[in-house]
Amino acid sequence: MHKAKLAVVQEAPVFLNLEASTEKAVKHIREAASQGANIISFAECWLPGYPVWLDFSPEAAIWDHAGAKALFRTLYENSVVRGDKHLKAIQDVCNETGSYIVIGTHERDGNTLYNTTFTFTPGAAEPAPHKKLVPTYTERLVWGRGDGSTMETVETPWGTLGSLICWEHWMPLARAAMHAKHETFHIAQWPIVKDMHQVASRHYAFEGRCTVAAAGSIMTRSDVIEGYKSLGNTNAEALAMLEAMPGENSDFIHNGGSSIVAADGSYLADPLFDESGIVIAEVDTSLLKEQAQTLDTNGHYSRPDIFELSVNTRPMDGVKFEG
Protein backbone atom coordinates (compact mmCIF):
# COMPACT_ATOMS: atom_id res chain seq x y z
CA MET A 1 0.00 0.00 0.00
CA HIS A 2 1.80 3.10 -1.18
CA LYS A 3 -0.99 5.62 -1.74
CA ALA A 4 -2.81 7.37 1.08
CA LYS A 5 -4.98 10.46 1.43
CA LEU A 6 -3.89 12.98 4.03
CA ALA A 7 -6.37 15.61 5.28
CA VAL A 8 -6.44 18.66 7.54
CA VAL A 9 -9.75 19.75 9.03
CA GLN A 10 -9.63 23.56 9.08
CA GLU A 11 -12.71 24.44 11.07
CA ALA A 12 -13.42 26.48 14.20
CA PRO A 13 -14.03 24.61 17.44
CA VAL A 14 -16.80 25.74 19.76
CA PHE A 15 -14.36 27.84 21.75
CA LEU A 16 -13.76 26.57 25.32
CA ASN A 17 -16.75 24.22 25.04
CA LEU A 18 -15.30 20.71 25.13
CA GLU A 19 -18.61 18.88 24.77
CA ALA A 20 -19.73 20.82 21.70
CA SER A 21 -16.24 20.81 20.16
CA THR A 22 -16.02 17.02 20.48
CA GLU A 23 -19.35 16.64 18.69
CA LYS A 24 -18.11 18.98 15.96
CA ALA A 25 -14.84 17.04 15.62
CA VAL A 26 -16.72 13.76 15.15
CA LYS A 27 -18.86 15.36 12.42
CA HIS A 28 -15.82 16.69 10.53
CA ILE A 29 -13.92 13.41 10.87
CA ARG A 30 -16.82 11.61 9.20
CA GLU A 31 -16.88 14.28 6.50
CA ALA A 32 -13.15 13.94 5.78
CA ALA A 33 -13.38 10.15 5.82
CA SER A 34 -16.23 10.30 3.29
CA GLN A 35 -13.77 12.06 0.98
CA GLY A 36 -11.41 9.11 1.28
CA ALA A 37 -9.04 10.51 3.89
CA ASN A 38 -6.89 7.86 5.55
CA ILE A 39 -5.14 10.22 7.98
CA ILE A 40 -7.10 13.17 9.39
CA SER A 41 -5.52 15.98 11.38
CA PHE A 42 -6.63 19.04 13.36
CA ALA A 43 -4.80 22.12 14.62
CA GLU A 44 -2.90 22.61 17.86
CA CYS A 45 -5.13 22.22 20.97
CA TRP A 46 -8.26 22.23 18.79
CA LEU A 47 -10.20 20.65 21.65
CA PRO A 48 -11.53 23.13 22.67
CA GLY A 49 -9.48 25.91 21.05
CA TYR A 50 -6.19 27.78 21.35
CA PRO A 51 -6.14 30.21 24.35
CA VAL A 52 -6.16 33.30 22.15
CA TRP A 53 -6.51 35.76 25.03
CA LEU A 54 -2.81 35.13 25.73
CA ASP A 55 -1.92 36.81 22.43
CA PHE A 56 -4.59 39.46 22.07
CA SER A 57 -6.05 40.51 25.42
CA PRO A 58 -4.02 43.40 26.91
CA GLU A 59 -4.17 42.22 30.56
CA ALA A 60 -3.64 38.49 30.02
CA ALA A 61 -0.37 38.35 31.98
CA ILE A 62 -1.29 40.56 34.94
CA TRP A 63 -0.71 38.76 38.22
CA ASP A 64 -3.86 37.57 40.02
CA HIS A 65 -6.11 38.97 37.28
CA ALA A 66 -9.71 37.85 37.92
CA GLY A 67 -10.53 37.37 34.22
CA ALA A 68 -7.36 35.39 33.50
CA LYS A 69 -8.03 33.11 36.46
CA ALA A 70 -11.64 32.58 35.40
CA LEU A 71 -10.60 31.70 31.84
CA PHE A 72 -8.01 29.26 33.17
CA ARG A 73 -10.69 27.64 35.35
CA THR A 74 -12.98 27.31 32.32
CA LEU A 75 -10.16 25.75 30.32
CA TYR A 76 -9.39 23.42 33.24
CA GLU A 77 -13.02 22.29 33.33
CA ASN A 78 -13.04 21.79 29.55
CA SER A 79 -9.80 19.85 29.18
CA VAL A 80 -9.66 16.18 28.31
CA VAL A 81 -8.54 13.53 30.79
CA ARG A 82 -7.15 10.25 29.50
CA GLY A 83 -9.86 7.64 29.28
CA ASP A 84 -12.72 10.15 29.37
CA LYS A 85 -15.82 10.14 27.19
CA HIS A 86 -14.49 12.83 24.84
CA LEU A 87 -11.40 10.86 23.84
CA LYS A 88 -13.57 7.74 23.64
CA ALA A 89 -15.88 9.52 21.18
CA ILE A 90 -12.87 10.26 18.93
CA GLN A 91 -11.67 6.66 19.26
CA ASP A 92 -15.14 5.41 18.35
CA VAL A 93 -15.28 7.45 15.14
CA CYS A 94 -11.71 6.39 14.40
CA ASN A 95 -12.82 2.76 14.62
CA GLU A 96 -15.97 3.50 12.61
CA THR A 97 -14.18 5.21 9.71
CA GLY A 98 -10.91 3.26 9.79
CA SER A 99 -9.04 6.57 9.56
CA TYR A 100 -6.05 7.54 11.68
CA ILE A 101 -6.78 10.78 13.57
CA VAL A 102 -4.37 13.34 15.00
CA ILE A 103 -6.01 16.01 17.15
CA GLY A 104 -4.63 18.65 19.49
CA THR A 105 -6.14 19.02 22.95
CA HIS A 106 -5.80 20.65 26.31
CA GLU A 107 -5.11 17.70 28.61
CA ARG A 108 -5.53 17.78 32.38
CA ASP A 109 -3.06 15.58 34.23
CA GLY A 110 -3.30 16.08 37.98
CA ASN A 111 -3.87 19.80 38.44
CA THR A 112 -1.70 20.84 35.50
CA LEU A 113 -2.82 21.43 31.93
CA TYR A 114 -0.74 20.26 28.99
CA ASN A 115 -0.83 20.98 25.28
CA THR A 116 -1.24 17.36 24.18
CA THR A 117 -1.71 15.85 20.76
CA PHE A 118 -3.41 12.46 20.60
CA THR A 119 -2.95 10.09 17.67
CA PHE A 120 -5.79 7.59 17.29
CA THR A 121 -5.30 4.23 15.61
CA PRO A 122 -8.31 2.15 14.47
CA GLY A 123 -8.88 -0.68 16.93
CA ALA A 124 -6.33 0.59 19.48
CA ALA A 125 -7.02 0.42 23.20
CA GLU A 126 -6.05 4.08 23.65
CA PRO A 127 -4.52 6.91 21.62
CA ALA A 128 -0.82 7.76 21.65
CA PRO A 129 -0.14 11.09 23.40
CA HIS A 130 2.49 13.75 22.77
CA LYS A 131 2.83 16.54 25.32
CA LYS A 132 4.35 19.76 24.01
CA LEU A 133 7.90 19.91 25.33
CA VAL A 134 8.17 23.68 25.82
CA PRO A 135 5.16 26.00 25.94
CA THR A 136 6.06 29.18 24.11
CA TYR A 137 6.20 32.60 25.79
CA THR A 138 2.80 33.42 27.37
CA GLU A 139 1.64 29.82 26.86
CA ARG A 140 3.54 29.08 30.08
CA LEU A 141 0.69 30.80 31.90
CA VAL A 142 -1.57 27.84 31.11
CA TRP A 143 0.53 24.75 30.23
CA GLY A 144 3.18 22.62 31.88
CA ARG A 145 6.10 21.04 30.02
CA GLY A 146 6.05 17.57 28.54
CA ASP A 147 8.88 15.05 28.67
CA GLY A 148 10.54 12.53 26.38
CA SER A 149 8.14 9.73 27.30
CA THR A 150 5.62 11.04 24.76
CA MET A 151 7.94 11.40 21.76
CA GLU A 152 5.88 8.73 20.03
CA THR A 153 5.01 7.64 16.51
CA VAL A 154 2.45 5.10 15.32
CA GLU A 155 2.58 2.65 12.47
CA THR A 156 0.01 2.83 9.67
CA PRO A 157 -0.41 0.58 6.59
CA TRP A 158 1.33 3.33 4.58
CA GLY A 159 4.23 4.07 6.91
CA THR A 160 5.18 5.76 10.17
CA LEU A 161 3.05 8.67 11.43
CA GLY A 162 4.42 11.29 13.84
CA SER A 163 3.73 14.83 14.96
CA LEU A 164 5.19 17.87 16.68
CA ILE A 165 3.48 20.96 18.02
CA CYS A 166 4.17 24.51 16.85
CA TRP A 167 7.60 25.81 17.92
CA GLU A 168 8.88 22.28 18.53
CA HIS A 169 9.64 22.50 14.81
CA TRP A 170 12.39 25.00 15.72
CA MET A 171 13.97 22.63 18.26
CA PRO A 172 16.78 21.02 16.21
CA LEU A 173 17.23 18.07 18.57
CA ALA A 174 13.50 17.34 18.67
CA ARG A 175 13.52 17.27 14.87
CA ALA A 176 16.56 14.98 14.87
CA ALA A 177 14.85 12.59 17.29
CA MET A 178 11.73 12.41 15.13
CA HIS A 179 13.72 12.04 11.90
CA ALA A 180 15.43 9.02 13.49
CA LYS A 181 12.00 7.36 13.60
CA HIS A 182 11.81 7.65 9.79
CA GLU A 183 8.38 9.22 9.51
CA THR A 184 6.44 8.75 6.32
CA PHE A 185 3.83 11.29 7.47
CA HIS A 186 4.28 14.14 9.89
CA ILE A 187 1.55 16.35 11.34
CA ALA A 188 2.82 19.86 12.08
CA GLN A 189 0.26 21.49 14.35
CA TRP A 190 0.01 25.25 14.67
CA PRO A 191 -2.63 27.72 15.89
CA ILE A 192 -2.27 29.42 12.49
CA VAL A 193 0.09 28.47 9.65
CA LYS A 194 1.46 31.89 8.82
CA ASP A 195 4.50 32.53 6.65
CA MET A 196 7.28 31.37 9.01
CA HIS A 197 5.18 28.37 10.00
CA GLN A 198 4.90 27.44 6.32
CA VAL A 199 8.69 27.76 6.10
CA ALA A 200 9.18 25.48 9.11
CA SER A 201 6.70 22.91 7.77
CA ARG A 202 8.31 22.85 4.33
CA HIS A 203 11.78 22.65 5.85
CA TYR A 204 10.69 19.72 8.05
CA ALA A 205 9.34 17.87 5.00
CA PHE A 206 12.57 18.39 3.06
CA GLU A 207 14.85 17.58 5.99
CA GLY A 208 12.84 14.56 7.14
CA ARG A 209 12.05 13.31 3.64
CA CYS A 210 8.42 12.92 4.65
CA THR A 211 5.00 14.31 3.78
CA VAL A 212 3.90 17.06 6.18
CA ALA A 213 0.36 18.19 6.94
CA ALA A 214 0.58 21.72 8.36
CA ALA A 215 -2.60 22.02 10.43
CA GLY A 216 -3.95 25.42 11.40
CA SER A 217 -7.19 26.67 12.89
CA ILE A 218 -9.68 29.30 11.79
CA MET A 219 -11.58 31.44 14.29
CA THR A 220 -13.18 34.86 14.20
CA ARG A 221 -13.51 37.17 17.18
CA SER A 222 -17.19 36.24 17.21
CA ASP A 223 -16.34 32.50 17.30
CA VAL A 224 -14.27 33.11 20.43
CA ILE A 225 -16.85 35.18 22.31
CA GLU A 226 -19.89 33.16 21.28
CA GLY A 227 -18.13 29.89 22.00
CA TYR A 228 -17.44 31.01 25.55
CA LYS A 229 -21.04 32.20 25.96
CA SER A 230 -22.31 28.80 24.77
CA LEU A 231 -21.18 27.34 28.09
CA GLY A 232 -23.75 29.45 29.98
CA ASN A 233 -23.07 31.00 33.38
CA THR A 234 -20.29 33.18 31.97
CA ASN A 235 -17.91 35.05 34.23
CA ALA A 236 -18.06 38.82 33.73
CA GLU A 237 -14.29 39.36 34.10
CA ALA A 238 -13.51 36.48 31.73
CA LEU A 239 -15.95 37.75 29.13
CA ALA A 240 -14.49 41.25 29.44
CA MET A 241 -11.02 39.85 28.79
CA LEU A 242 -12.20 38.19 25.57
CA GLU A 243 -14.12 41.27 24.50
CA ALA A 244 -10.99 43.37 25.06
CA MET A 245 -9.37 41.69 22.06
CA PRO A 246 -9.20 44.32 19.30
CA GLY A 247 -11.17 44.24 16.07
CA GLU A 248 -14.67 43.61 14.80
CA ASN A 249 -16.57 40.40 15.51
CA SER A 250 -16.13 39.30 11.90
CA ASP A 251 -12.34 39.73 12.04
CA PHE A 252 -10.20 36.59 12.02
CA ILE A 253 -8.27 35.81 15.18
CA HIS A 254 -6.77 32.82 13.36
CA ASN A 255 -7.12 32.59 9.60
CA GLY A 256 -6.01 29.06 8.84
CA GLY A 257 -3.22 28.49 6.32
CA SER A 258 -3.41 24.69 6.45
CA SER A 259 -1.44 22.97 3.71
CA ILE A 260 0.11 19.65 2.73
CA VAL A 261 3.78 19.51 1.76
CA ALA A 262 5.62 16.86 -0.26
CA ALA A 263 8.99 15.39 0.77
CA ASP A 264 10.80 17.71 -1.64
CA GLY A 265 9.31 20.79 0.06
CA SER A 266 6.75 21.54 -2.64
CA TYR A 267 3.03 21.87 -1.97
CA LEU A 268 0.69 18.98 -2.62
CA ALA A 269 -2.15 21.19 -1.36
CA ASP A 270 -1.67 24.97 -1.25
CA PRO A 271 -2.32 26.90 1.98
CA LEU A 272 -6.00 27.67 2.62
CA PHE A 273 -6.53 31.07 4.23
CA ASP A 274 -9.59 33.01 5.42
CA GLU A 275 -12.09 30.18 5.05
CA SER A 276 -12.98 26.86 6.58
CA GLY A 277 -12.66 23.61 4.71
CA ILE A 278 -10.88 20.28 4.44
CA VAL A 279 -7.41 20.42 2.89
CA ILE A 280 -6.71 17.05 1.31
CA ALA A 281 -4.09 15.45 -0.92
CA GLU A 282 -3.13 12.00 -2.11
CA VAL A 283 0.39 10.91 -1.20
CA ASP A 284 2.38 8.41 -3.23
CA THR A 285 4.73 7.09 -0.56
CA SER A 286 6.91 5.31 -3.12
CA LEU A 287 8.21 8.74 -4.17
CA LEU A 288 9.58 9.31 -0.67
CA LYS A 289 12.09 6.54 -1.30
CA GLU A 290 13.46 8.47 -4.26
CA GLN A 291 14.05 11.50 -2.05
CA ALA A 292 16.08 9.34 0.34
CA GLN A 293 18.79 8.96 -2.30
CA THR A 294 20.12 12.44 -1.61
CA LEU A 295 19.31 12.96 2.07
CA ASP A 296 18.78 10.73 5.11
CA THR A 297 19.72 12.69 8.23
CA ASN A 298 19.85 9.52 10.35
CA GLY A 299 21.60 7.44 7.72
CA HIS A 300 24.01 8.21 4.91
CA TYR A 301 23.87 11.97 5.58
CA SER A 302 24.78 11.66 9.26
CA ARG A 303 28.09 11.58 11.07
CA PRO A 304 27.61 9.50 14.24
CA ASP A 305 31.39 9.50 14.74
CA ILE A 306 31.10 13.27 15.35
CA PHE A 307 27.55 13.92 16.55
CA GLU A 308 25.51 11.85 18.98
CA LEU A 309 22.04 12.50 20.45
CA SER A 310 20.68 10.77 23.54
CA VAL A 311 16.91 10.97 24.12
CA ASN A 312 15.51 10.35 27.60
CA THR A 313 12.18 8.59 27.14
CA ARG A 314 11.47 7.96 30.84
CA PRO A 315 8.47 9.71 32.42
CA MET A 316 9.87 12.48 34.62
CA ASP A 317 7.54 12.38 37.61
CA GLY A 318 8.31 14.74 40.47
CA VAL A 319 7.20 12.22 43.11
CA LYS A 320 7.84 8.46 42.87
CA PHE A 321 6.41 5.99 45.36
CA GLU A 322 8.50 2.87 45.85
CA GLY A 323 8.06 -0.18 48.04
Q: Kindly list the catalytic residues.
A: 44, 132, 166
Helices (DSSP H) in 180-217: which residue ranges?
A: 195-208
Determine the longest span between alpha carbons in the chain, in angstroms.
61
C-alpha distances in Å from residue 218, one per residue of 78, 164, 168, 206, 207: 20, 19, 21, 26, 28
Distance CA 178, CA 203 (A): 14
Distance CA 101, CA 200 (A): 22
Which residues lie closer than 8 Å to 195 by C-beta, 6 or more apart?
none
CA 248 to chain CA mean position, Å: 27
Phi-psi region of 23 (alpha: psi -120 to 50; beta: other; left: phi over 0): alpha
- The number of beta carbons lying within 10 Å of the beta carbon of residue 176 is 17
Distance CA 113, CA 131 (A): 10
Q: Taking Cα atoms as reference points, which of 153, 175, 171 lies closest to residue 162?
A: 153
Residue 188 main-chain phi, psi, to 5 deg: -100, 110
Distance CA 276, CA 43 (A): 12
